[in-house]
Amino acid sequence: MSNIGLIISLIVIAIGLLWLFILSLRGKEVERRIIFLFIGLSVSVPLLFNITFSEKATPIVMDVFNKVENLPAGSKILLSYDYGPSMAPEVEPMSNAFLRHALAKGHRVYVMCLWATGQSLAATAIDSVVKKDFPDKVYGVDYINIGFKAGGTGVLNVIITDFRKMYLTDVDGRDLDSLPIFNGIRSLKDMDLLISIGGGYPGVKEWILFAGSQGNIPTAGGCAAVSAPLLYPYYPKQMVGLLGGIKGAAEYESQLKKVYKRFEKSPTPGIKMMGPQTLAHLIVMAFIVIGNISYFVSKRKRS
Amino acid sequence: MADSKRISKIILAAVIAFFLISWIIKGLAIHDEDSVLWFSVRDAFLITLAAFLTLAIFSFLYKDNPYYKFAENLFVGVSAAYWMCVGFWSTIIGNMLPNLSESLSSTFGVPYKGFNIFYIVPLILGILLLMRLSSKAGWISRWALAWIVGTTAGLNLVRYLRTDFISQVSNTFVPLLVDWKGFGAFYSGLSLASTGQFVMTLSNWVIFIGVFSGLIYFFFSKEHKGFFGVASKVGIWVLMITFGASFGYTVMGRVSLLVGRLTYLFKDWLGLIS
Protein backbone atom coordinates (compact mmCIF):
# COMPACT_ATOMS: atom_id res chain seq x y z
CA MET A 1 0.00 0.00 0.00
CA SER A 2 2.78 2.38 0.98
CA ASN A 3 4.60 1.58 -2.26
CA ILE A 4 1.51 2.51 -4.28
CA GLY A 5 1.27 5.80 -2.35
CA LEU A 6 4.94 6.47 -3.00
CA ILE A 7 4.64 5.75 -6.72
CA ILE A 8 1.53 7.96 -7.03
CA SER A 9 3.31 10.79 -5.16
CA LEU A 10 6.39 10.54 -7.37
CA ILE A 11 4.22 10.49 -10.51
CA VAL A 12 2.37 13.62 -9.29
CA ILE A 13 5.70 15.39 -8.69
CA ALA A 14 7.04 14.29 -12.09
CA ILE A 15 3.85 15.46 -13.89
CA GLY A 16 4.05 18.78 -12.02
CA LEU A 17 7.66 19.27 -13.10
CA LEU A 18 6.75 18.39 -16.68
CA TRP A 19 3.96 20.96 -16.59
CA LEU A 20 6.38 23.61 -15.31
CA PHE A 21 8.85 22.59 -18.01
CA ILE A 22 6.20 23.11 -20.71
CA LEU A 23 5.24 26.45 -19.16
CA SER A 24 8.87 27.56 -19.21
CA LEU A 25 9.20 26.50 -22.86
CA ARG A 26 6.25 28.77 -23.60
CA GLY A 27 8.17 31.57 -21.90
CA LYS A 28 5.92 31.82 -18.82
CA GLU A 29 7.40 32.51 -15.37
CA VAL A 30 6.96 30.06 -12.49
CA GLU A 31 5.61 31.53 -9.27
CA ARG A 32 8.01 31.15 -6.30
CA ARG A 33 5.27 29.57 -4.14
CA ILE A 34 5.06 26.70 -6.62
CA ILE A 35 8.76 26.04 -6.05
CA PHE A 36 8.17 26.03 -2.26
CA LEU A 37 5.29 23.59 -2.75
CA PHE A 38 7.47 21.22 -4.77
CA ILE A 39 10.28 21.35 -2.21
CA GLY A 40 7.74 20.67 0.55
CA LEU A 41 6.38 17.68 -1.37
CA SER A 42 9.82 16.34 -2.20
CA VAL A 43 10.72 16.35 1.50
CA SER A 44 7.35 15.10 2.80
CA VAL A 45 6.93 12.12 0.47
CA PRO A 46 10.18 10.28 1.42
CA LEU A 47 9.51 11.06 5.08
CA LEU A 48 5.99 9.66 5.02
CA PHE A 49 6.99 6.60 2.99
CA ASN A 50 10.28 6.11 4.85
CA ILE A 51 12.61 6.10 1.84
CA THR A 52 16.24 5.58 2.87
CA PHE A 53 19.48 4.85 1.05
CA SER A 54 22.55 2.95 2.12
CA GLU A 55 25.53 5.12 3.01
CA LYS A 56 29.23 4.40 2.82
CA ALA A 57 31.68 6.41 4.91
CA THR A 58 34.04 8.62 2.89
CA PRO A 59 37.73 8.94 3.93
CA ILE A 60 37.23 12.26 5.77
CA VAL A 61 34.48 10.67 7.91
CA MET A 62 36.37 7.40 8.28
CA ASP A 63 39.35 9.30 9.68
CA VAL A 64 37.22 10.62 12.55
CA PHE A 65 35.68 7.19 13.10
CA ASN A 66 39.07 5.48 13.11
CA LYS A 67 40.51 8.06 15.46
CA VAL A 68 37.78 7.40 18.05
CA GLU A 69 38.00 3.67 17.37
CA ASN A 70 41.77 3.39 17.68
CA LEU A 71 42.19 5.36 20.89
CA PRO A 72 42.78 3.02 23.85
CA ALA A 73 39.76 2.51 26.13
CA GLY A 74 39.59 5.14 28.84
CA SER A 75 40.92 7.92 26.60
CA LYS A 76 39.61 11.41 27.21
CA ILE A 77 37.36 12.86 24.51
CA LEU A 78 35.95 16.35 24.75
CA LEU A 79 32.67 16.99 22.92
CA SER A 80 31.72 20.62 22.47
CA TYR A 81 28.10 21.41 21.62
CA ASP A 82 28.50 24.66 19.72
CA TYR A 83 25.05 24.97 18.21
CA GLY A 84 21.49 25.95 18.90
CA PRO A 85 18.05 24.59 18.04
CA SER A 86 18.19 26.22 14.60
CA MET A 87 21.05 23.90 13.65
CA ALA A 88 20.01 20.90 15.72
CA PRO A 89 18.26 18.79 13.03
CA GLU A 90 21.48 18.81 11.04
CA VAL A 91 24.14 18.33 13.68
CA GLU A 92 22.33 16.53 16.51
CA PRO A 93 22.62 13.16 14.70
CA MET A 94 26.41 13.71 14.68
CA SER A 95 26.66 14.53 18.37
CA ASN A 96 24.51 11.52 19.28
CA ALA A 97 26.64 9.25 17.08
CA PHE A 98 29.86 10.58 18.64
CA LEU A 99 28.46 10.06 22.13
CA ARG A 100 27.40 6.48 21.35
CA HIS A 101 30.71 5.63 19.73
CA ALA A 102 32.91 7.15 22.44
CA LEU A 103 31.01 5.51 25.30
CA ALA A 104 30.77 2.16 23.52
CA LYS A 105 34.57 2.19 23.19
CA GLY A 106 34.88 2.90 26.91
CA HIS A 107 36.26 6.41 26.55
CA ARG A 108 35.65 9.16 29.07
CA VAL A 109 33.50 11.92 27.62
CA TYR A 110 33.69 15.57 28.65
CA VAL A 111 30.75 17.60 27.36
CA MET A 112 30.93 21.39 27.17
CA CYS A 113 29.48 24.22 25.05
CA LEU A 114 30.63 27.51 23.60
CA TRP A 115 27.01 28.34 22.79
CA ALA A 116 24.52 28.95 25.58
CA THR A 117 21.87 27.11 23.61
CA GLY A 118 24.14 24.08 23.42
CA GLN A 119 23.84 23.54 27.16
CA SER A 120 20.23 22.37 27.13
CA LEU A 121 20.79 20.39 23.92
CA ALA A 122 23.75 18.62 25.54
CA ALA A 123 21.58 17.79 28.55
CA THR A 124 18.91 16.41 26.21
CA ALA A 125 21.53 14.30 24.40
CA ILE A 126 22.77 12.88 27.69
CA ASP A 127 19.20 11.98 28.68
CA SER A 128 18.26 10.44 25.35
CA VAL A 129 21.52 8.70 24.48
CA VAL A 130 23.68 8.07 27.54
CA LYS A 131 21.02 7.30 30.13
CA LYS A 132 19.05 5.18 27.66
CA ASP A 133 21.77 3.27 25.81
CA PHE A 134 24.43 3.20 28.55
CA PRO A 135 22.65 2.86 31.91
CA ASP A 136 25.82 1.38 33.42
CA LYS A 137 27.86 4.52 32.77
CA VAL A 138 28.29 6.74 35.83
CA TYR A 139 28.07 10.53 35.75
CA GLY A 140 31.29 12.11 36.99
CA VAL A 141 33.25 8.90 36.29
CA ASP A 142 32.55 7.99 32.66
CA TYR A 143 31.05 11.24 31.43
CA ILE A 144 30.44 14.79 32.57
CA ASN A 145 28.65 17.91 31.38
CA ILE A 146 30.49 21.09 32.36
CA GLY A 147 28.11 23.29 30.40
CA PHE A 148 28.50 26.73 28.91
CA LYS A 149 30.76 29.66 29.68
CA ALA A 150 30.47 33.01 27.96
CA GLY A 151 33.46 34.30 26.04
CA GLY A 152 33.71 32.21 22.88
CA THR A 153 37.33 32.08 21.82
CA GLY A 154 38.25 33.68 25.15
CA VAL A 155 37.09 30.50 26.88
CA LEU A 156 39.39 28.44 24.64
CA ASN A 157 42.29 30.79 25.34
CA VAL A 158 41.86 30.13 29.05
CA ILE A 159 41.14 26.40 29.15
CA ILE A 160 44.06 25.62 26.86
CA THR A 161 46.20 26.41 29.92
CA ASP A 162 43.86 25.82 32.88
CA PHE A 163 40.30 24.44 32.98
CA ARG A 164 39.66 25.61 36.52
CA LYS A 165 40.22 29.25 35.72
CA MET A 166 37.02 29.06 33.70
CA TYR A 167 35.18 25.99 34.97
CA LEU A 168 34.93 25.60 38.74
CA THR A 169 31.85 23.40 38.69
CA ASP A 170 29.92 21.16 36.36
CA VAL A 171 26.60 22.22 34.87
CA ASP A 172 24.74 21.32 38.10
CA GLY A 173 27.12 23.25 40.36
CA ARG A 174 29.19 20.26 41.60
CA ASP A 175 32.82 21.10 42.34
CA LEU A 176 35.00 19.73 39.52
CA ASP A 177 37.62 18.62 42.03
CA SER A 178 35.04 16.37 43.69
CA LEU A 179 34.38 14.44 40.47
CA PRO A 180 36.78 11.54 39.67
CA ILE A 181 36.62 12.15 35.91
CA PHE A 182 38.48 15.43 36.41
CA ASN A 183 41.32 13.93 38.47
CA GLY A 184 44.58 14.76 36.75
CA ILE A 185 42.93 17.00 34.17
CA ARG A 186 44.47 20.43 34.15
CA SER A 187 43.88 21.80 30.67
CA LEU A 188 42.73 20.93 27.17
CA LYS A 189 46.20 19.53 26.54
CA ASP A 190 45.26 16.56 28.75
CA MET A 191 42.55 15.56 26.29
CA ASP A 192 43.21 12.87 23.68
CA LEU A 193 40.70 14.17 21.17
CA LEU A 194 38.66 17.33 20.79
CA ILE A 195 35.41 17.19 18.83
CA SER A 196 33.45 20.32 18.12
CA ILE A 197 29.95 20.06 16.72
CA GLY A 198 28.59 23.29 15.34
CA GLY A 199 28.41 25.51 12.34
CA GLY A 200 28.59 29.09 13.48
CA TYR A 201 30.91 31.27 15.52
CA PRO A 202 32.54 30.04 17.68
CA GLY A 203 32.64 26.57 16.23
CA VAL A 204 34.86 23.96 14.63
CA LYS A 205 37.21 26.53 13.07
CA GLU A 206 37.84 28.24 16.41
CA TRP A 207 38.52 24.89 18.06
CA ILE A 208 41.11 24.14 15.37
CA LEU A 209 42.77 27.54 15.58
CA PHE A 210 42.61 28.28 19.29
CA ALA A 211 42.90 24.78 20.76
CA GLY A 212 43.92 22.03 18.31
CA SER A 213 46.72 23.77 16.44
CA GLN A 214 47.73 25.80 19.47
CA GLY A 215 48.17 22.85 21.79
CA ASN A 216 48.90 20.11 19.23
CA ILE A 217 45.72 18.29 20.27
CA PRO A 218 43.97 16.09 17.68
CA THR A 219 40.79 17.92 16.68
CA ALA A 220 37.84 16.65 14.70
CA GLY A 221 34.55 18.27 13.84
CA GLY A 222 30.99 17.89 12.80
CA CYS A 223 29.45 20.91 11.20
CA ALA A 224 26.38 22.29 9.50
CA ALA A 225 26.59 21.90 5.74
CA VAL A 226 26.84 25.66 5.19
CA SER A 227 30.21 25.79 6.98
CA ALA A 228 31.68 22.59 5.56
CA PRO A 229 33.37 24.10 2.45
CA LEU A 230 35.20 26.59 4.69
CA LEU A 231 36.53 23.84 6.92
CA TYR A 232 37.83 21.35 4.35
CA PRO A 233 41.13 23.28 3.88
CA TYR A 234 42.09 22.36 7.46
CA TYR A 235 41.93 18.64 6.64
CA PRO A 236 44.10 16.58 7.09
CA LYS A 237 46.97 18.58 8.58
CA GLN A 238 45.11 20.64 11.17
CA MET A 239 41.99 18.53 11.54
CA VAL A 240 41.63 14.77 11.96
CA GLY A 241 38.42 14.63 9.93
CA LEU A 242 35.07 16.27 9.41
CA LEU A 243 31.42 15.32 9.24
CA GLY A 244 30.03 17.83 6.74
CA GLY A 245 26.29 18.31 7.10
CA ILE A 246 23.70 15.58 7.34
CA LYS A 247 25.57 13.49 4.73
CA GLY A 248 28.54 13.23 7.09
CA ALA A 249 26.23 12.31 9.96
CA ALA A 250 24.56 9.60 7.86
CA GLU A 251 27.95 8.16 6.87
CA TYR A 252 29.10 8.06 10.50
CA GLU A 253 25.85 6.43 11.64
CA SER A 254 26.17 3.87 8.89
CA GLN A 255 29.75 3.01 9.88
CA LEU A 256 28.77 2.83 13.54
CA LYS A 257 25.97 0.38 12.76
CA LYS A 258 28.31 -1.67 10.61
CA VAL A 259 30.98 -2.01 13.29
CA TYR A 260 28.78 -2.15 16.42
CA LYS A 261 25.91 -4.62 16.14
CA ARG A 262 24.43 -3.27 19.40
CA PHE A 263 23.48 -0.05 17.56
CA GLU A 264 21.56 -1.82 14.78
CA LYS A 265 18.24 -0.76 16.29
CA SER A 266 19.37 2.66 17.53
CA PRO A 267 17.77 5.70 15.88
CA THR A 268 19.57 6.88 12.75
CA PRO A 269 18.07 10.29 11.96
CA GLY A 270 20.97 11.11 9.66
CA ILE A 271 20.36 8.12 7.39
CA LYS A 272 16.60 8.78 7.43
CA MET A 273 17.17 12.35 6.27
CA MET A 274 19.06 11.25 3.18
CA GLY A 275 15.87 10.12 1.38
CA PRO A 276 14.26 13.58 1.53
CA GLN A 277 17.67 15.11 0.75
CA THR A 278 18.04 13.10 -2.45
CA LEU A 279 14.59 13.91 -3.77
CA ALA A 280 14.84 17.60 -2.78
CA HIS A 281 18.22 17.89 -4.54
CA LEU A 282 16.75 16.31 -7.68
CA ILE A 283 13.89 18.83 -7.58
CA VAL A 284 16.34 21.74 -7.11
CA MET A 285 18.37 20.47 -10.07
CA ALA A 286 15.20 20.20 -12.14
CA PHE A 287 14.31 23.78 -11.26
CA ILE A 288 17.80 24.98 -12.21
CA VAL A 289 17.33 23.33 -15.63
CA ILE A 290 13.80 24.76 -16.01
CA GLY A 291 15.03 28.21 -14.92
CA ASN A 292 17.83 28.15 -17.49
CA ILE A 293 15.50 27.01 -20.28
CA SER A 294 13.06 29.75 -19.34
CA TYR A 295 15.90 32.29 -19.41
CA PHE A 296 17.18 31.25 -22.84
CA VAL A 297 13.66 31.05 -24.31
CA SER A 298 12.79 34.55 -23.09
CA LYS A 299 16.19 35.83 -24.33
CA ARG A 300 15.51 34.39 -27.78
CA LYS A 301 12.02 35.91 -27.83
CA ARG A 302 13.41 39.34 -26.89
CA SER A 303 16.04 39.20 -29.61
CA MET B 1 -11.50 47.86 5.40
CA ALA B 2 -14.27 46.57 7.65
CA ASP B 3 -14.46 43.41 5.54
CA SER B 4 -10.72 42.70 5.84
CA LYS B 5 -10.93 43.16 9.63
CA ARG B 6 -13.82 40.73 9.78
CA ILE B 7 -11.94 38.20 7.65
CA SER B 8 -8.88 38.54 9.92
CA LYS B 9 -11.05 37.90 12.98
CA ILE B 10 -12.65 34.85 11.34
CA ILE B 11 -9.19 33.47 10.45
CA LEU B 12 -7.97 34.10 14.01
CA ALA B 13 -11.02 32.31 15.45
CA ALA B 14 -10.50 29.40 13.06
CA VAL B 15 -6.80 29.12 13.96
CA ILE B 16 -7.57 29.21 17.70
CA ALA B 17 -10.34 26.62 17.30
CA PHE B 18 -8.12 24.37 15.17
CA PHE B 19 -5.25 24.35 17.64
CA LEU B 20 -7.56 23.96 20.65
CA ILE B 21 -9.06 20.87 19.04
CA SER B 22 -5.55 19.68 18.18
CA TRP B 23 -4.51 20.17 21.84
CA ILE B 24 -7.46 18.10 23.07
CA ILE B 25 -6.90 15.31 20.54
CA LYS B 26 -3.17 15.21 21.30
CA GLY B 27 -3.87 15.15 25.04
CA LEU B 28 -6.24 12.21 24.62
CA ALA B 29 -3.70 10.44 22.39
CA ILE B 30 -0.77 10.67 24.80
CA HIS B 31 -2.71 10.14 28.04
CA ASP B 32 -2.88 6.64 29.42
CA GLU B 33 -3.75 5.07 32.75
CA ASP B 34 -0.20 5.25 34.08
CA SER B 35 0.42 8.92 33.29
CA VAL B 36 -0.61 11.92 35.39
CA LEU B 37 -3.42 13.90 33.73
CA TRP B 38 -1.73 17.26 34.31
CA PHE B 39 1.49 16.08 32.62
CA SER B 40 -0.45 14.82 29.60
CA VAL B 41 -2.29 18.16 29.31
CA ARG B 42 0.98 20.08 29.63
CA ASP B 43 2.88 17.91 27.13
CA ALA B 44 0.01 18.08 24.63
CA PHE B 45 -0.05 21.88 24.99
CA LEU B 46 3.72 22.18 24.40
CA ILE B 47 3.61 19.90 21.35
CA THR B 48 0.66 21.83 19.89
CA LEU B 49 2.28 25.20 20.63
CA ALA B 50 5.50 24.11 18.88
CA ALA B 51 3.45 22.93 15.89
CA PHE B 52 1.59 26.25 15.79
CA LEU B 53 4.86 28.23 15.90
CA THR B 54 6.39 26.05 13.16
CA LEU B 55 3.38 26.58 10.90
CA ALA B 56 3.32 30.29 11.75
CA ILE B 57 6.91 30.61 10.54
CA PHE B 58 6.16 28.52 7.42
CA SER B 59 3.21 30.82 6.64
CA PHE B 60 5.74 33.48 5.57
CA LEU B 61 6.35 31.39 2.44
CA TYR B 62 2.87 32.40 1.33
CA LYS B 63 3.17 36.03 2.42
CA ASP B 64 4.00 38.20 5.42
CA ASN B 65 1.30 37.96 8.10
CA PRO B 66 0.67 38.65 11.83
CA TYR B 67 1.16 34.97 12.81
CA TYR B 68 4.65 34.99 11.32
CA LYS B 69 5.44 38.29 13.05
CA PHE B 70 4.22 36.90 16.38
CA ALA B 71 6.39 33.77 16.08
CA GLU B 72 9.42 35.78 14.95
CA ASN B 73 9.18 38.29 17.81
CA LEU B 74 8.60 35.52 20.33
CA PHE B 75 11.70 33.70 19.06
CA VAL B 76 13.89 36.82 19.31
CA GLY B 77 12.61 37.62 22.80
CA VAL B 78 12.97 34.10 24.16
CA SER B 79 16.48 33.72 22.63
CA ALA B 80 17.69 36.99 24.18
CA ALA B 81 16.26 36.10 27.58
CA TYR B 82 17.70 32.58 27.40
CA TRP B 83 21.23 33.76 26.56
CA MET B 84 21.08 36.38 29.33
CA CYS B 85 19.89 33.89 31.96
CA VAL B 86 22.44 31.23 31.01
CA GLY B 87 25.20 33.87 30.93
CA PHE B 88 24.19 35.12 34.38
CA TRP B 89 24.12 31.70 36.01
CA SER B 90 27.22 30.31 34.28
CA THR B 91 29.48 33.35 34.37
CA ILE B 92 28.44 35.74 37.16
CA ILE B 93 27.28 33.05 39.56
CA GLY B 94 29.53 30.27 38.26
CA ASN B 95 32.80 32.17 37.85
CA MET B 96 32.73 35.54 39.56
CA LEU B 97 31.12 34.89 42.95
CA PRO B 98 33.38 31.93 43.86
CA ASN B 99 36.36 34.26 43.50
CA LEU B 100 34.91 37.28 45.27
CA SER B 101 32.49 36.49 48.07
CA GLU B 102 32.20 33.51 50.42
CA SER B 103 28.75 34.44 51.71
CA LEU B 104 27.29 34.96 48.21
CA SER B 105 28.91 31.71 47.03
CA SER B 106 27.22 29.76 49.80
CA THR B 107 23.92 31.57 49.10
CA PHE B 108 23.99 30.45 45.48
CA GLY B 109 25.47 27.03 46.29
CA VAL B 110 28.75 27.36 44.39
CA PRO B 111 32.13 26.35 45.85
CA TYR B 112 34.13 29.32 47.22
CA LYS B 113 37.68 29.40 45.84
CA GLY B 114 39.13 32.28 47.84
CA PHE B 115 39.20 36.02 47.23
CA ASN B 116 40.96 36.95 44.00
CA ILE B 117 41.43 40.67 43.50
CA PHE B 118 41.78 40.33 39.72
CA TYR B 119 38.09 39.39 39.45
CA ILE B 120 37.25 42.96 40.53
CA VAL B 121 38.35 44.12 37.05
CA PRO B 122 35.70 42.20 35.03
CA LEU B 123 33.13 43.13 37.66
CA ILE B 124 33.84 46.84 37.13
CA LEU B 125 33.97 46.44 33.35
CA GLY B 126 30.64 44.60 33.42
CA ILE B 127 29.03 47.40 35.42
CA LEU B 128 30.52 49.95 33.00
CA LEU B 129 28.94 48.06 30.08
CA LEU B 130 25.55 48.28 31.75
CA MET B 131 25.89 52.09 31.87
CA ARG B 132 24.85 51.94 28.24
CA LEU B 133 21.30 51.74 29.52
CA SER B 134 21.62 55.31 30.83
CA SER B 135 21.30 58.12 28.29
CA LYS B 136 23.58 60.46 30.28
CA ALA B 137 26.27 58.00 31.38
CA GLY B 138 26.14 55.80 28.28
CA TRP B 139 29.56 57.00 27.10
CA ILE B 140 31.25 55.24 30.04
CA SER B 141 30.40 51.87 28.48
CA ARG B 142 32.88 52.68 25.70
CA TRP B 143 35.76 52.12 28.12
CA ALA B 144 34.70 48.53 28.70
CA LEU B 145 34.00 48.07 25.01
CA ALA B 146 37.45 49.45 24.16
CA TRP B 147 39.00 46.92 26.54
CA ILE B 148 37.06 44.05 24.91
CA VAL B 149 37.95 45.16 21.37
CA GLY B 150 41.61 45.72 22.24
CA THR B 151 42.21 42.42 24.01
CA THR B 152 40.22 40.42 21.44
CA ALA B 153 42.09 42.03 18.54
CA GLY B 154 45.45 41.43 20.23
CA LEU B 155 44.75 37.79 21.06
CA ASN B 156 43.15 36.96 17.73
CA LEU B 157 45.86 38.64 15.66
CA VAL B 158 48.55 36.36 17.02
CA ARG B 159 46.38 33.22 16.97
CA TYR B 160 45.00 33.74 13.45
CA LEU B 161 48.38 34.70 12.04
CA ARG B 162 50.06 31.61 13.44
CA THR B 163 47.41 28.89 13.24
CA ASP B 164 45.33 30.10 10.31
CA PHE B 165 47.35 32.19 7.90
CA ILE B 166 50.79 30.61 8.21
CA SER B 167 49.44 27.08 8.72
CA GLN B 168 47.15 27.39 5.71
CA VAL B 169 50.03 28.62 3.54
CA SER B 170 52.08 25.69 4.81
CA ASN B 171 49.20 23.28 4.03
CA THR B 172 49.33 24.42 0.41
CA PHE B 173 52.91 23.21 -0.01
CA VAL B 174 52.02 19.68 -1.08
CA PRO B 175 54.16 17.21 -3.06
CA LEU B 176 53.11 17.21 -6.73
CA LEU B 177 54.41 13.66 -7.15
CA VAL B 178 53.38 11.63 -4.11
CA ASP B 179 55.77 8.76 -3.24
CA TRP B 180 57.24 9.00 -6.72
CA LYS B 181 59.39 6.00 -7.68
CA GLY B 182 59.35 6.47 -11.46
CA PHE B 183 56.75 5.96 -14.22
CA GLY B 184 57.03 2.16 -14.13
CA ALA B 185 56.14 1.94 -10.44
CA PHE B 186 53.40 4.55 -10.97
CA TYR B 187 51.63 2.57 -13.72
CA SER B 188 52.03 -0.81 -12.03
CA GLY B 189 50.54 0.55 -8.79
CA LEU B 190 47.80 2.64 -10.45
CA SER B 191 44.77 2.66 -8.18
CA LEU B 192 41.67 4.82 -7.81
CA ALA B 193 41.62 4.38 -4.02
CA SER B 194 41.31 7.73 -2.26
CA THR B 195 44.57 7.10 -0.42
CA GLY B 196 46.32 5.77 -3.53
CA GLN B 197 49.31 7.44 -5.13
CA PHE B 198 47.44 8.45 -8.29
CA VAL B 199 44.48 10.07 -6.53
CA MET B 200 46.72 11.83 -3.98
CA THR B 201 48.93 13.21 -6.76
CA LEU B 202 45.87 14.37 -8.71
CA SER B 203 44.38 15.93 -5.58
CA ASN B 204 47.61 17.83 -4.85
CA TRP B 205 47.71 19.13 -8.42
CA VAL B 206 44.13 20.40 -8.05
CA ILE B 207 45.14 22.22 -4.84
CA PHE B 208 48.23 23.68 -6.50
CA ILE B 209 46.46 24.86 -9.67
CA GLY B 210 43.41 26.06 -7.72
CA VAL B 211 45.42 28.18 -5.28
CA PHE B 212 47.81 29.46 -7.95
CA SER B 213 45.12 30.48 -10.46
CA GLY B 214 42.85 31.84 -7.74
CA LEU B 215 45.64 34.10 -6.50
CA ILE B 216 46.39 35.27 -10.05
CA TYR B 217 42.72 36.21 -10.53
CA PHE B 218 43.02 38.59 -7.54
CA PHE B 219 46.36 40.02 -8.70
CA PHE B 220 45.47 43.31 -10.35
CA SER B 221 48.94 44.89 -10.75
CA LYS B 222 49.40 43.19 -14.12
CA GLU B 223 46.99 43.12 -17.04
CA HIS B 224 45.23 39.75 -17.41
CA LYS B 225 46.61 38.86 -20.86
CA GLY B 226 48.54 35.90 -22.28
CA PHE B 227 49.53 33.32 -19.66
CA PHE B 228 48.23 35.61 -16.94
CA GLY B 229 44.85 35.86 -18.69
CA VAL B 230 44.55 32.07 -19.10
CA ALA B 231 45.52 31.47 -15.45
CA SER B 232 43.06 34.16 -14.38
CA LYS B 233 40.27 32.44 -16.33
CA VAL B 234 41.13 29.13 -14.68
CA GLY B 235 40.96 31.05 -11.39
CA ILE B 236 37.41 32.22 -12.21
CA TRP B 237 36.41 28.61 -12.92
CA VAL B 238 37.93 27.48 -9.64
CA LEU B 239 35.98 30.19 -7.80
CA MET B 240 32.75 29.29 -9.61
CA ILE B 241 33.16 25.60 -8.73
CA THR B 242 33.80 26.62 -5.10
CA PHE B 243 30.65 28.77 -5.05
CA GLY B 244 28.71 25.92 -6.64
CA ALA B 245 29.91 23.49 -3.96
CA SER B 246 29.00 26.03 -1.27
CA PHE B 247 25.54 26.45 -2.80
CA GLY B 248 25.06 22.68 -2.89
CA TYR B 249 26.02 22.41 0.77
CA THR B 250 23.72 25.31 1.63
CA VAL B 251 20.80 23.57 -0.09
CA MET B 252 21.63 20.41 1.87
CA GLY B 253 21.70 22.39 5.12
CA ARG B 254 18.40 24.15 4.49
CA VAL B 255 16.69 20.93 3.39
CA SER B 256 17.93 19.26 6.60
CA LEU B 257 16.27 21.98 8.66
CA LEU B 258 13.04 21.55 6.71
CA VAL B 259 13.22 17.79 7.24
CA GLY B 260 13.72 18.43 10.96
CA ARG B 261 10.58 20.55 11.23
CA LEU B 262 8.47 18.30 9.02
CA THR B 263 9.61 15.27 11.02
CA TYR B 264 8.40 17.07 14.13
CA LEU B 265 5.02 17.85 12.56
CA PHE B 266 4.51 14.35 11.13
CA LYS B 267 5.91 12.42 14.09
CA ASP B 268 5.38 14.35 17.31
CA TRP B 269 2.29 16.36 16.39
CA LEU B 270 0.30 14.32 13.91
CA GLY B 271 1.72 10.88 14.73
CA LEU B 272 1.84 9.92 11.05
CA ILE B 273 5.32 8.36 11.21
CA SER B 274 6.98 6.29 13.90
User: DSSP label at A72?
Assistant: P
Averaged pLDDT, A156-184:
91
Q: Do A168 and B257 touch (CB under 8 A)?
A: no
Of A102, A121, A101, A133, give the one whose Cα is nearest residue A254: A101
B155 touches chain A (CB under 8 A): yes
* pTM of this structure: 0.89
Q: Do B90 and A148 touch (CB under 8 A)?
A: yes
B91 touches chain A (CB under 8 A): yes
Query: For residue B180, what are the contacts with CB-CB under 8 A and spacing of at least 6?
Result: B186
Task: Compare all CA atoms of chain A with the CA of B242 and give the residue at the minimum distance.
Answer: A229
The model's pLDDT over A76-124, given as tens digits with 9 standing for 90+, comes to 999 999 999 989 999 999 999 999 999 999 999 999 999 999 999 999 9
Of B252, B12, B214, B212, give the one whose Cα is nearest residue A247: B252
Averaged pLDDT, A127-155:
92
Q: Do A157 and B155 touch (CB under 8 A)?
A: yes
- Looking at every residue in chain B, the average pLDDT score rounds to 90
What is the interface pTM, i.e. ipTM, of the complex? 0.90
Residues of A in contact with B263 (CB under 8 A): 47, 89, 269
The model's pLDDT over A15-69, given as tens digits with 9 standing for 90+, comes to 888 888 888 877 777 788 888 999 999 999 999 988 888 889 999 999 999 999 9
**pLDDT of the residue at A222:** 96
Q: Do A233 and B168 touch (CB under 8 A)?
A: yes
Q: How confident is the model at residue A2 (pLDDT cuts 50, 70, 90)?
A: low
Residues of B in contact with A273 (CB under 8 A): 256, 259
Using CA atoms in the order B240, B244, B249, B253, what is the torsion angle rounded to 10 degrees?
110
Q: How confident is the model at residue B57 (pLDDT cuts 50, 70, 90)?
A: very high
Is a pLDDT exceeding 90 seen at residue A293?
no
**pLDDT of the residue at A106:** 94
Task: Compare all CA atoms of chain B with the CA of A269 and give the residue at the minimum distance.
Answer: B260
B27 touches chain A (CB under 8 A): no
Task: Compare all CA atoms of chain B with the CA of A155 and give the residue at the minimum distance.
Answer: B91
Residues of A in contact with B109 (CB under 8 A): 173
Question: Residue B224 phi/psi, 5° resolution?
Answer: -80, 80
B150 touches chain A (CB under 8 A): no
Q: Report the b/e string of A229-263 with b at 16+ CB within 10 A.
A: bebebbbeebbbbbbbbbbbbbbbbbbbbeeeeeb
For the ranges A9-13, A231-235, A280-284, the lowest mean pLDDT is seen at A9-13
Is a pLDDT exceeding 50 seen at residue A1?
no
Q: Give yes or no for a contact between B86 and A116, defined as CB atoms under 8 angstroms apart.
A: yes
Averaged pLDDT, B162-191:
85
Residues of A in contact with B171 (CB under 8 A): 233-234, 237-238
Task: State the amino acid at position A280 in one-letter form.
Answer: A
**Integer Cα distance of B121 and B108 in angstroms:** 22
For the ranges B78-82, B224-228, B260-264, the lowest mean pLDDT is seen at B224-228
- Residue in B102, B107, B168, B252 to test binding to A, most A beta-carbons within 10 Å: B252
Is a pLDDT exceeding 80 seen at residue B2?
no
For the ranges A154-158, B35-39, B253-257, the lowest mean pLDDT is seen at B35-39
**pLDDT of the residue at A300:** 83
For the ranges A10-24, A90-104, B87-101, B106-120, the lowest mean pLDDT is seen at A10-24
For the ranges A106-110, A251-255, B86-90, B229-233, the lowest mean pLDDT is seen at B86-90
Q: Do B163 and A214 touch (CB under 8 A)?
A: yes
Cα A200 to chain centroid, rounded: 12
Question: Residue B101 phi/psi, 5° resolution?
Answer: -135, 125
Is a pLDDT exceeding 50 seen at residue B199?
yes
Q: Do B256 and A246 touch (CB under 8 A)?
A: yes
CB atoms within 10 A of CB A291: 15
